[in-house]
């Protein structure tokens, strides 16, 4: 897999993972909960876990392609903010959109 394809795969995976907590009522899209609706805190926790999963997948792909470059805290702060920006459409769909009927 070349670098460009791997980069686009990670970006699309991050976009899908960032919106997953807001688009369904199951935990990680798989596990059903005892309560009918997830709380906002559970959605944020799920978002954080999915960030670390996507970060791990990106690290594995980088290791498979070649050298893994050392990153400092600034890199992780920027990627976490980018993950939150990618989650905005799901947040709007869940909390800001007017539900009719």
Enumerate the domain spans of the chain: 3-96
pLDDT at 76 over 90: yes
pLDDT at 11 over 70: yes
CB atoms within 10 A of CB 51: 21
Q: What is the mean pLDDT of residues 57-70?
A: 90
Q: What is the mean pLDDT of residues 49-63?
A: 95
pLDDT at 32 over 80: no
Helical axes 73-86 vs 40-65, angle rounded to 10°: 120
pLDDT at site 86: 97
Q: What is the mean pLDDT of residues 38-54?
A: 93
* Mean pLDDT score across all residues of the chain: 90
Q: What is the mean pLDDT of residues 13-39?
A: 86
pLDDT at site 101: 63
Alpha helices by DSSP H, listed for 3-72, are 3-23, 40-65
User: Which residues sit opposite 93 in a β-bridge?
Assistant: none
Q: Which of helix, strand or coil describes residue 31?
A: strand
pLDDT at site 25: 84
pTM here is 0.88
């Amino acid at each position: 897999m070349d670098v460009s394809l791997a980069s686009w795969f990670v970006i699309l995976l991050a976009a899908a993972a960032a919106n997953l907590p807001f688009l369904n009522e199951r935990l990680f899209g798989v596990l059903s909960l005892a309560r009918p609706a997830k709380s906002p805190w559970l959605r944020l926790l799920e978002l954080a876990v999915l960030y670390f999963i996507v970060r791990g997948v990106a690290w594995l792909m980088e290791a498979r392609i070649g050298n893994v470059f050392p990153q400092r805290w600034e890199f992780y702060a920027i990627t976490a903010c980018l993950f939150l920006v990618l989650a905005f459409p799901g947040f709007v769909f869940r909390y800001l959109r007017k539900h009719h009927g």
